[in-house]
Each structure stands twice: as C-alpha cells, then as structure tokens.
Chains A and B, each alone.
Chain A
Amino acid sequence: MYMSEVRKPLLRTMVALSVIVGSAMAADMKIEKNVDGAVIYPTKDGHYQAYSVNTQSKKGFSSYGRTPTAAEIKAWNKDVMPDGTGLPEGKGSVERGDELFADQCAMCHGDFGMGGKGYPTLSGGQGTLKNQLVDAAKGDEPPVRTIGSYWPYASTLFWYIQSAMPFPHPKSLSNDDTYALVAYLLSVNEIEIDGQELDDDYVLDRAKFLKIKMPNRDGFYPNVDGGVGAKEVAKFLKNPENYGKGTRCMKGCKDGKVTPIKFELKDFKPAMSTTRDLPKEEGSKTVSKGQKLYEAKCSACHANAAIGAPVVGDKEAWAKVTAKGMDVVYKHALSGFNAMPPKGGNMDLSDATVKEIVDYMVGASK
C-alpha cells in the first residue's frame, strides 16, 4: 500500500525526465542560457514548451506605422546619459537652486534634502555604504543611500529631476532651473567639480556638468561599460553562488533555529480580515468635480501632514486658514503662499476651477 505511494512519484519523475531526455536534451544538447542565466527555450515542431506557436510568416506588419518626424523624436528623446548624450545647454547657480528647492522640493525632501518627512533623503550618507544593520540593539547602523553617497552618475540626477520632479507636477522645470537644482543638490552633498567647491554663486553649465565625478561612481558591478554589453552581467547571473545558492539536501539539513517576530508590524489598510460577510453600507457617495480635481492635483501635498500643508479633514488647521477670510485664501491658492505654489503648480487650471477645489477642501474640513 505504501509502496505504491512511493513508486508513484518515482514513476512520475522518470516520465518527466525521459521527456526531457527525449526532446530538449536529445543528442546531449545542453540547455542554452540567456544573459540572465535563464533557459532559452527553443521553438520546436510548432511548440514553445506547452504553448503552440503560430509559425506563419509575420513580416510586413510595419506598414501600419509611420516614420517619426525629427521634431517628434526631439520632443520625446529627453534622456540624459552618463557620457553627456542628451544633456541640453543651460545654466543655473547654487543660489537659484536653493530658492527653487525651498519653494518646490523641501516640503517633501526636507531642508537641505535632509529628509525626515517620509520622502527620500537627498543628502548625506557618505561613508556608510559598508554598514550592515544586523542588530540594532548592538548599535549597528544602516547604510544611507543618497544622491551624494550612492548615485554613480550626475546625468541620472538631471534626467530624473527634469522628467519626474517636483512630484505633484513633473516636467515643469526649465533646463536652467534643472541645472540650478542639480548644482544645489551637489553643494548640499559637498561634492566638488574639478576641485572646486560649489558655493552660492557657483554657476553650473553643460561644460562643467560633464566634469562632475560622483563619489560612488565605481561602486557598482558587474561592468557594463566599454562596449562589453551584457556579457559581464551574464557571467555574474549564471553563477548562483554570487547571490545565494541552495542545495537540495533531503535529510538532516537543519540550518539555524526558529526565530519568531520580535516587533510585529501590522498597520495594514484596510485591516486584515478573511471574513465573508456583507460590507457595511457607506451611504451613496457622489464625488464632486472639486473633490476629483483635489485628489488629482492637490492631495499629494494636502493629505500629508509632514509637508506642512493644511491637511484636508483637519478642522483645526482649516479653521485657522479660513479665519483669514476666503478672499485671502483664494488669493493664496491662486498666487501661492510660502511653500504653497501658485495653483498648487497647476497653471493649466482656471481661477474658477481652483476656487472650486478650495471650496471642496474647506467644505470637507468643517
């Protein structure tokens, strides 16, 4: 009775193996591996593993497309590469970057990019990359990965800031402003260019940018430069010893002792439940235009106390705001106020629409 149970998996394994022997491994063919160490499965006899493959000729379908114009390519090809490919002309000073940062970035990234608001920290961390936080009780510290301590290339910084920041309304920074912000972020990280410190009146331009050497430029492997393509990566990935190789030990394999959770994290939204019941009636909700636009354009800052914006729903905070009189509040929303950018950075919104959003924010915070 038990024997048959044992034999079944044995037989199954035999069948499975003879299938492999019969197809992929015929004539001692070795598995072909791609650059990621993964098996390349051949399409054979109209099959890609379990899938049937449509083997008809698939040529000629490009007749549906058209050639992009030079202006179109220029409009989309905005990436910046480490060798300077794609880096536009322009210039900006550390001082200008400081202003821009205070207006558009510090509410999330902290003064001088020092973090503390839950968003990425943009400065500091040099000399920490060898840290391994194994046991905080023993005083272990974590590594701090920032632009200054970790990023290998300044090109990434220029490209990323211009295409993705400021977070609530990206792609709004001019080339000059982006140079200024990069200059500022390098200066707060005490990175020099060509042996020169970046003080307030330092002006960064394309030529100087190309001389930037980030402190951690040699901190990454495998090598992909000098035309080697993905060869070195392939060598690395094909050997699991490089990243954790397991063994198929079947008996007497214990490796360590059972360690329970010390500090349980359970701030889940919504709370965990596997109950099958009817949801509680929430009443019919209609979403106003003001609310929709608030969620799309303003909530990145106004749902987050860390930024210093009055949080929608916080009655006390909004009572203080509206105490100034609605005329003043509208004016601040339209023209900006301290860290509040004009129209929240959405210059495409009409004045009337911004007022409608403000009305929603005020109404939802009563």
Chain B
Amino acid sequence: MSKTIEKSVTLASNSVSTDSRRGFLKGMFMSVAAAGVVAPVALKADDAAITEEAEWGVKLGFPVDKYGYGQRSPYEHNVVRRVTDLLSSGDMYASVAMCPIHELEGGIITPNGLFFNRSHGGTAIIDPNKYRLMIHGLIEKPIVLTLAQLKRYPSESRIHFIECPANGSAEWRGPQFNSIQFTKGMMSSAEWTGVKLSVLLEDLGVKPEAKWVLAEGSDNSEMGRTIPIEKIMDDAMLVWGQNGEALRPDQGYPVRLLVPGWEGNLNVKWLKRLEFGDKPWHAKEETSKYTMLQPSGKAIRFFWPMEVNSIITSPCPEKPWTDLKKGDVVEIEGLAWSGQGTIQHVDVSLDGGDNWTEASLKGLVLPKSWTRFSMIIKWDGKPLVLQSRATDDTGNTQPTINQEIAAVGVESVYHRNAICSWEVKANGEVNNVHVRG
C-alpha cells in the first residue's frame, strides 16, 4: 500500500511539471482567481432596459396550454443545424446536418432538435406499431420483438457522444471552413435509454461460433454494419430514449443500436435486424466508405473507435472575443472526448502548441463521453493561437497535425483527431488556422 501511494505522488508531480509551473508564474495566465476585486465600469447614461418598464412585464404572457410540446424562445432561431452541399453525396438525402456546438449552453447534453443528422437515404418515419426487431443467426433462441415487448426489458441510461468519423474530414490538406460548426459539428451527445445487449442475449444464448453481428436498419439505405461480438457483449445497447423522450426520427426512431464511443455510422438507426455469424459481412459502409486509404495504396478497415479528441468551443470563429478589452478576464472553454475511455487531462496552449498548461475539467467526467474543460485567463490583448490537447485513460494523447499525417497520410478521409488551432487576433476576431508543415 505504501508503495502505491509513493507511486501516486511521483506521478502527480510529473504531471504538473516544474516547467509549466514556471510558465504560469511568468505569464500570470492562471492568476485570475486571485486577481482581487475589479470595479465595474461606470455607465454614462441610464439604461432604458432598466429605467423603462419592459414590454413583457406590462401584459399577459401566453397561456400555459398554448404549446402541448414546448418551444424554445423565438429569439434563439439562429441556433440551428446547418448544411453545405460540399459535404453531401449529391443531395440532402445522403448528407449531414451539422450541430452548432458553439451554441450549446454548456454541459454534455445536446438538445434533441440540434443533434447532428447524418443519413444515407433520408429520415425514415417508422410506424411504431409496425416496428419489429429480429435477432437470428448463430443464436440458440432467435426472437422477434415488437417495440412494446422490447421496452419491457429492464432499462439503463448512459450518456455518450456520437461522432461521425468524417468529422473534420475537410481539413486533411489544410484549413477550409472558418467555423467550428463545419469543422467539428458532426457530433452530439445525449443520455440514451435502452437495454444492454448482453442482458438480452443472456436469455437468447449466443452460439460459441458467433464472432460477428450484422446490424441492419430498415430505412431507404438499409444501413448495414458488422460489429464484433466483443463489443456487443461489453457495452452495446438497443436504445429507444434520447434525453428523456423517444428517439427523434433522425436518430432512428423507434430503436437504434448504440455502440458507445464508436463511429457514428455503426450506431445503426431504425434498427430492424441483428444477425449473428462467424464472418464479417463487408457491407458497403465498411468497404467503399469508412475505410482509410493510406499512402501505401492499402486501406485500413474496421477502424471502430473514435480516438481521443478535443476542441475549444469558446472562443471560436463563430464566438469571438470582439467584445473583450485588454486586461479582461475570460474563460477558454471546450469539449474533450474519447471513444476508447475517459478523459484524464486536457492541456491548453496559447502560443500555437509551443507551451502547454493543464486545464481544469468540469462537470461530469464519464467514459466515452464529452467532458468539459476550462482555463480562465487574463487577456493581454495580444494575438494568440489557442490549442487544446486531450489525453484519455488508455494513455493516448491527441497527435499534432504533423504526427497524424506522418502516420496515415492525407487521404484517410475518416478519423481525423489532430490538435485544432484557433488564431485570436488583437481585435478579438477568431480564425481557423492549422499549425503544420
């Protein structure tokens, strides 16, 4: 026991290195909590927003029964998913609507109406009364379940992100979109409710020869993907609930597969069938697409997990610092996540990756989940290049752009998790830049 404690102390002093300690003593970036009381600026004229009665205070609001299903404030109408033709396969049926992650008001949950939507044949609207799930193949007791029957199983809820492996794919050769929504918006996160497949399968009995499972959707594209049995038995779920309500149609209503931390595409929506077999199926989405072509001319297949990753959500090109003055205190905030484990550290650099300081994690820190990080600084009004770099509990750390390209080239399309950079200009504008070459 005493030996392990000793080990923890040395590990701890390693992780906050003397170098970085000197770094913040010198730069005073971390000194804000101790900055003392700052007097608010005096206003020249009285503010009519205070001295006049507000119009919403002098009349009745709308009655409580106006909306059976509540609406957000009409003032929030610009907080929407967005699309661009450049990321579609021809039209808006095989395309992706990006989540405005810069507009999420903190925490690790995406409101259902803003959840990114990647579909391959449009959004199917399934009649829940006609919904059937079939589980067959190398199973002792094949089964057909209606939705009501499936929901009789004891449920569990888990918070997990889902990310399309093409998130950031426009950036392999260089920065292209001056936008966080378009460089990192192919992901969202929710609390999912459903049943663990291991629970279902305990009754049905998987035959020992079964090594692979085909998960198939019932939509236009009949999305099919092969999942190894090891994942099915670990933490895969059949889910019907999303943030406390039924899955949205664009998330696979009434039932989708959830394979926590894995490529979005594997979380098959509108799930109709699970077939157990002894060989992989080599579906279109695991041969033609979702494979990573290497400089050798060969391609990596079955790259399931989303690797450790992070992004600074504030500031970002859409949410700049143009309202800041020199000397203002400001929070740099972001999201870190890993499909292979739990976020351990997030480091932030203000100088384009030369020097790094460990940021604070805040809120829930869960496996295979978005994790919020924060660093509060006093901005000296000088240009910065901000970066964040996450490490998970497998010990994996996000690579630099150069490190990632050295490993896989620039034609992989998928699984880009290199460190991102935002350039902050003296006027507070924020731009997407790369540190590379």
Contact = CB atoms under 8 A, between A and B. Distances in A.
A, B from the same assembly: yes
Contacts of A53: 156
Contacts of A142: 411
Interface band, chain B: 35 or more
Question: Is chain A's binding surface mostly helix, strand, loop or mixed?
Answer: loop
Contact of A36 (B143, B231, B293): B231
Interface in B1-55: 4-5, 7-9, 11-13, 15-17, 19-21, 23-25, 30-31, 33-34
Nearest to A169: B220
Interface string B67-89: 00000001111101011111011
Contacts of A64: 145, 149-150, 152-153
A300 B89 CA distance: 12
Nearest to B22: A251
A135 B405 CA distance: 14
Contacts of B355: 250-253
Contacts of B203: 59-62
Interface stretch (A92-100, A190-198, A228-236, A339-347): A228-236
A42 to B, nearest CB: 11
B366 A49 contact: yes
A290 interface: no
Given A117-B90, A220-B299, A229-B228, A247 B397 contact: yes
A239 to B, nearest CB: 10
Nearest to B77: A279
A167 B221 CA distance: 8
Interface stretch (A149-157, A174-182, A204-212, A321-329): A149-157
Contact of B121 (A14, A60, A164): A164
A304 B92 CA distance: 10
A73 B282 contact: no
Interface band, chain A: 35 or more
B8 A14 contact: yes
Interface in B108-133: 120-121
A285 interface: no
Contacts of A243: 292, 300, 303, 307, 404, 407-408, 415
B394 A143 contact: no
Contacts, number: 436
A266 B389 CA distance: 27
A167 B82 contact: no
A318 B16 CA distance: 70
B119 to A, nearest CB: 12
Contacts of A13: 11-12, 15-16
Contact of A143 (B353, B401, B411, B435): B411
A262 B417 CA distance: 21
A129 interface: yes
B339 interface: yes
Interface string A38-81: 11110000000111011010111110111110001100110101
Contact of B83 (A5, A39, A49, A269): A269
Interface string B302-332: 1111010000000000110000000000000
B89 A120 contact: yes
Q: Which of B77, B144, B293 has the most CB of A within 10 A?
A: B293
B154 interface: yes
A360 interface: no
Contact of A152 (B287, B406, B411): B287
Contact of B220 (A33, A37, A164): A164
A278 B281 contact: no
Given A36-B340, A49-B342, A118-B90, A254 B220 contact: no
Given A2-B34, A255-B400, A79 B224 contact: yes
Contacts of A221: 298-301
Given A225-B279, A243-B407, 7 more contacts: A2-B25, A39-B342, A60-B203, A61-B152, A67-B144, A108-B90, A219-B297
15 contacts: A5-B31, A6-B21, A14-B9, A39-B340, A64-B153, A72-B134, A118-B88, A221-B301, A224-B279, A237-B304, A244-B406, A245-B396, A248-B347, A261-B177, A268-B182
Interface of A: 1-2, 4-6, 9-10, 13-14, 17-18, 21, 25, 31, 33-41, 49-51, 53-54, 56, 58-62, 64-68, 72-73, 76-77, 79, 81-83, 108, 117-120, 129-135, 142-143, 145, 147, 150-153, 155-156, 159-160, 163-164, 167, 170-171, 219-222, 224-225, 227, 229-230, 233-234, 236-237, 240-270, 272-279, 300, 303-304, 306
Q: Which 7 A-B pairs have the closest CB atoms?
A: A119-B90, A244-B404, A246-B397, A230-B228, A62-B203, A244-B399, A64-B149
